[in-house]
Amino acid sequence: MRTTLPLILSFLIGMFMLGEFFVPHWRYQMVKGFILEFGTLLASAAFLLGIINLIQVNLPKIKNREKDWGYKALMLGSMVITIIVGLAEGSHRMQAYELATVQGSPTEEIQEIEVDESLKIMALSTPEGSEMPAVAIEVSLPLQADQEGIKLAPDADPRFKLTRRKIPLNNIDKETSGGTQDNQIIQYTLTGNKSIEQIEVLESGGASTLMMPRNRPSIRKTIAYKWIFDRIFIPLSATMFALLAFYIASAAFRAFRARNLEATILLAAACIVMLAQVPIGEQLPFIGDYLAQFKEWILDTPNVAATRAIYIGGALGAISTGLRIVLGIERSHLGGD
Amino acid sequence: MMTCFLYCFFVLFISVGQAAKPLDQSLRAPTNLKVSAPTNDGGTRLKIQWEMPRKWSFYIMDGDRIVGVVDHDKRAFDFKGNIEDVDFPDEESRLEAQKSATQELSNRLKVLWVDPSKLPTIVNASDIERSGQLLTHKIELDPKGKIKWSIPSDSFRLSLYRLEMPAGHTCEESDVNCLEKGKWKVIKSNIKGATREYIDTVTDNPRKKPPEERYWYKMGVFPAGPASTESGKLYEELLVSSMESEIVSGKPHASWVKKASGIYLLFALILAVGILMFHYTRKARSGAKMAIRRIPGIDAIEEGIGRATEMGKPVLYVPGIDSLEDIQTIASMLVLGEISKTIAEYQADVIVSCCIPIVREVADEVVKAGFYRAGHPDAFDPTSVRFISSEQFAFCAGTNGIMYRQKPATNIYLGRFFAESLILAETGYVNRAIQIAGTAEASQLPFFIAACDYTLIGEELFAVSAYLSGDPRLVSSLKASDVIKLVIVALLAIGVCVIGFGFKDFLTWFNYS
């Protein structure tokens, strides 16, 4: 019974979830949604167990003054502070997230909008004919849009101020700016009364875009949580990520030592690609143009071929692993042979 | 002497002057409005299609020569102009020559709107000049020779309305009077003039039955501008300046089975893997020998555990940073079961560093079960499976800390990794641990290959648990996927040949939407 029930459950739920690819009916999707929500609930509950595990692992080490116990104390202390602040300001943060789901766009160019907690509004354009539904909005901010851009509404409260700033596109990720080919986008910043800290509206691709939440958010009360996130967590994460540059250099140094034929081919390919990526590569006499073409060939032909082979093999491996579990052939995760 | 290519086109805006007759700008409502349920839909969407009354062709003329014809819904044409190889003494004279060439081209180039029904069967330039209307709008040439233009009718926009009925009211298709009870709502405004269909999701929740049986639609056409660009406008306000289409209705239809050739193929693939697995499992049970090629990376796992035992140091196991839904994490958990059994047999220590809490819970059970299977349940240390952090780089920092403090002799990274892969692997390298990595994440493989002693590439990750267990039933599943791989390689070869011979429909067999 210890393994039979999990096996039956694995089979039933596994087969049901597999059916999702083949059955589009809303009733089927409803049951699937229920199962997924159940999974989300379990995963959320596991967070609590994760915290307990953190305490179980680290608290004894602090008590026993083991090596680097101070770091562990700092980590547990930070966790406690963040939890307290998060719980205290949680309802306000939830309000801000809720706002992020009820917005829309007045133009057909922009249909998907993300509003983060600080209300920086980012718009992603969707190709014409996309199946993504448009969301009509209720204009509640004192702005209006026309072909020339975004302006303050004539009846706007005089305390509101709208500023316009051009940002060169090379400073912004093209993806997040809707992949526009223009060399700049226009950023609007609305400053207003106490309930609106700052709302930024991005305009790109020549289309006026105006995005806004339905209600004026009151995010001022989430300052402590945001401060922890923006001033401590993000810089620390960025620091870790930045270390990658040095690790790449040391790993590349080892990988590019021409010890055998394969390593020599790797070295040659890497030199060509690196040289063609930088401006000096194009300026090289005689080979400049060929170098760029050869780089494209390396990236588009052998590289893509190998990557696809890995993906195809991986997909087949995934199918067979999935079937092994669903059909009960693989049982090691259940603790039995 | 500088040799340059003189290109006849680069970005410019030219107004091709002297308008003959102005283009008809009057608004006309869409016609032939049709509402249908999209194929393979769950019963929550409706497809609305329409036509615009005008149809025309664009003729592109270089002087008195017709250089191209495009349909009414196109606004671009690839113009292959002349490229002359000319020598110039300096950059200034090249630019001068380019300017005059552009001027010359702009004087010659024309785009004419023509109603095809007014043309004779055999068309010549004079017919076009006589029946066509010269486009007076901006024409743009890009450096690759593509001409783009817009026409006044592009300046109209369409709006789509849906009838919102009061709760409990439904209207039958024949009962048009019933429509008065409902209220029209703008569901999509600012639709471009060239658009001919829109898919409307009739319910907010695609996992619930749509609130109404039948949905009614109509469309309006507006001049482009502020009036039609504000989505928040009320239907009544928009109505003032619109022309409207007929009212049509449709019912959503929920399909139980998706019908697409790609879906059938996917089903066949899964079925084939399943049948082959059963076939090889039966063969294995009857005593047939299941051979599997040696994979050095997997063999090294046991060596690594032995090394850790000899050195009296732990084995560090990282199951990636993705959640439990990911198949790579699931495969990693299966491998962890086998590895923890071996570790328990060797009486070594293991540290499992987890990024996702639910993965930690499963890993905890799996390691416990591994120690149990090895006959050493008492050797299991509950703090050996650790939750570090669910944030990528915090997890990375925490795991690096374990490597620096506890100096594991062997690091095993199996699962799905992202940017942290190299940070982890390089830290392990600096600590002189034997490192075995495996992932199906192609972008991270080069990092693991550079920094680890052994790397399991793609599918090898999914073969580890079967390989380690040596169970013929599990090995048989590898056989099944190998057979399918052969079929796929054959299909690829066939596909290359077939498409090479021009049979492009071959690709549609794989369409799954």
Give the Cα separation of A186 and A202 in Å (integer). Answer: 6
Q: Which of B267, B277, B449 sits opposite A320 (nearest CB)?
A: B277
Q: Is the minimum CB–CB distance between B374 and chain A shorter than 8 Å?
A: no
pLDDT at B52: 80
> Which range (A57-71, A271-285, B19-33) has the least confidence?
B19-33
Q: Is the minimum CB–CB distance between B344 and chain A shorter than 8 Å?
A: no
Hey, are the CB atoms on A136 and B391 less than 8 Å from each other?
no
Quote the mean pLDDT of chain A. 70
Q: A2, B236 in Cβ contact below 8 A?
A: no
Decide if pLDDT at A108 tops 60. Answer: no
pLDDT digits (tens, 9 = 90+) for B304-323: 999 999 999 999 999 999 99
Segment (H or E) for A140 = none
Decide if pLDDT at B455 tops 90. Answer: yes
Give the Cα separation of B500 and A318 in Å (integer). Answer: 31
Give the Cα separation of A170 and A180 in Å (integer). Answer: 11
- Helix B420-430 vs helix B392-406: crossing angle, to nearest 10: 10
Give the Cα separation of B55 and B114 in Å (integer). Answer: 9
Decide if pLDDT at B203 tops 90. Answer: no
pLDDT band at B12 (very low <50, low <70, confident <90, very high): very low
pLDDT (mean) for B122-139: 73
Tally A–B CB contacts below 8 A. Answer: 281
Decide if pLDDT at A121 tops 50. Answer: no
pLDDT (mean) for B64-86: 73
> Which range (B149-158, B381-390, B464-473) has the least confidence?
B149-158
Quote the mean pLDDT of chain B. 82
Identity at B281, one-letter amino acid code: T
Q: In sequence order, what DSSP letters do the residues of B315-327 get, joined into one string?
A: EEEEEESS-TTSH
Q: B469, B341 in Cβ contact below 8 A?
A: no
Decide if pLDDT at A214 tops 50. Answer: no
pLDDT digits (tens, 9 = 90+) for B35-50: 999 988 889 899 999 9
Q: In sequence order, what DSSP letters do the residues of B349-372 get, joined into one string?
A: -EEEEESSHHHHHHHHHHHHHHHH
pLDDT at A15: 92
3-state SS, residue B467: helix
To the nearest whole Å, the CA of A136 is away from the closest chain B CA by 6
Q: In sequence order, what DSSP letters do the residues of B49-88 get, joined into one string?
A: EEE-S---EEEEEETTEEEEEEETT--EEE-----EEEEE
Helices (H), chain A: 4-19, 26-63, 69-99, 223-227, 234-255, 261-277, 279-283, 288-300, 302-326
Chain B residue with Cα closest to A214: B232
pLDDT (mean) for A109-117: 33
Q: Which residues of A touch B275 (CB under 8 A)?
A: none
pTM: 0.72
Q: What is the 3-state secondary structure (H, E, C) of B79-135?
A: CCCCCEEEEECCHHHHHHHHHHHHHHHHHHEEEEEECHHHCCCCCCHHHHHHHCEEC
Q: B211, B218 in Cβ contact below 8 A?
A: no
To the nearest whole Å, the CA of A24 is away from the closest chain B CA by 4
3-state SS, residue A166: strand
Hey, are the CB atoms on A33 and B207 less than 8 Å from each other?
yes
- Going from the C-alpha of B212 to that of each of A211, B43, B169, B232, B366, the distances in angstroms are 30, 11, 9, 24, 49
Enter the DSSP assignment of B154: G
Q: Which of B231, B337, B338 sits opposite A137 (nearest CB)?
A: B231
Question: Which tokens in the block code for residue B510?
Answer: 């794989």
Hey, are the CB atoms on A321 and B459 less than 8 Å from each other?
no
Question: Which tokens in the block code for residue A308?
Answer: 């696809």
Half-sphere exposure of B285 (CA within 13 A, CB side): 8
pLDDT band at A68 (very low <50, low <70, confident <90, very high): confident
> Which range (B4-13, B93-102, B130-139, B224-233) has the least confidence?
B4-13
Torsion of CA B447, B448, B450, B453, to 10 degrees: 170
To the nearest whole Å, the CA of A171 is away from the closest chain B CA by 22
> Nearest 5°: phi and psi at B156?
-100, 155
Q: Is the minimum CB–CB distance between A236 and chain B shorter than 8 Å?
A: yes
Q: B424, A240 in Cβ contact below 8 A?
A: no
pLDDT at A142: 53
Mutate to test the interface with B, among A232, A332, A333 (most CBs of B within 10 A): A332
Decide if pLDDT at A216 tops 50. Answer: no
pLDDT (mean) for A233-246: 93
Q: Which of A54, A131, A250 sits opposite B426 (nearest CB)?
A: A250
Q: Which of B232, B419, B466 sits opposite A244 (nearest CB)?
A: B419
Q: Which residues of B touch A241 (CB under 8 A)?
A: 393, 419
Hey, are the CB atoms on A240 and B423 less than 8 Å from each other?
yes
Segment (H or E) for B433 = none
pLDDT at B138: 62
Better pLDDT: B177 or A70:
A70
Decide if pLDDT at A123 tops 70. Answer: no
pLDDT at B331: 93
Q: What residues contact residue A252 under an 8 Å CB cut-off, 6+ apart?
A: A270, B450
Q: Which residues of A touch B185 (CB under 8 A)?
A: 136
Q: Is the ipTM of this complex over 0.85?
A: no
Which one, of B73, B43, B33, B79, lies nearest residue B57 by Cα? B73
pLDDT at A235: 93
pLDDT at A135: 31
Residue B32 CB neighbour total at 10 angstroms: 13
Q: What percent of chain B has pLDDT over 70?
A: 84
Q: Is the minimum CB–CB distance between A229 and chain B shorter than 8 Å?
A: no
Decide if pLDDT at B404 tops 90. Answer: yes
Q: Which residues of B touch A51 (CB under 8 A)?
A: 387
Give the Cα separation of A78 and B216 in Å (integer). Answer: 57
Give the Cα separation of B462 and A173 in Å (integer). Answer: 36
Residue A200 CB neighbour total at 10 angstroms: 16
Q: What percent of chain B has pLDDT over 90?
A: 39
Surface of B (423-452) touching A: CB under 8 A: 423, 425-426, 440, 442, 445-447, 449-451
To the nearest whole Å, the CA of B291 is away from the closest chain A CA by 17
pLDDT band at A186 (very low <50, low <70, confident <90, very high): low
- Going from the C-alpha of B466 to that of each of B295, B335, B436, B470, the distances in angstroms are 12, 8, 17, 6
Q: Which of B258, B397, B422 sits opposite A244 (nearest CB)?
A: B422
Q: Is the minimum CB–CB distance between B189 and chain A shorter than 8 Å?
A: yes
Which one, of B73, B27, B30, lies nearest residue B48 by Cα? B30
3-state SS, residue B221: strand
Better pLDDT: A174 or A233:
A233
pLDDT at B27: 62
pLDDT band at B292 (very low <50, low <70, confident <90, very high): confident
pLDDT at A92: 56
Q: Is the minimum CB–CB distance between B455 and chain A shorter than 8 Å?
A: no
Q: B345, B370 in Cβ contact below 8 A?
A: no
pLDDT at B330: 93
Hey, are the CB atoms on A251 and B451 less than 8 Å from each other?
yes
Q: What percent of chain A has pLDDT over 90?
A: 29
Segment (H or E) for B473 = helix B472-500
What sign results for the dihedral spanned by CA atoms B465, B469, B471, B472?
positive
Surface of A (91-110) touching B: CB under 8 A: 104-108
Surface of B (158-187) touching A: CB under 8 A: 185-187
Decide if pLDDT at B86 tops 90. Answer: no
Better pLDDT: A86 or A206:
A86
Surface of A (254-273) touching B: CB under 8 A: 254-255
Mutate to test the interface with A, among B459, B465, B513 (most CBs of A within 10 A): B459
Give the Cα separation of A35 and A269 in Å (integer). Answer: 48
pLDDT (mean) for A175-195: 44
Q: B476, B284 in Cβ contact below 8 A?
A: yes
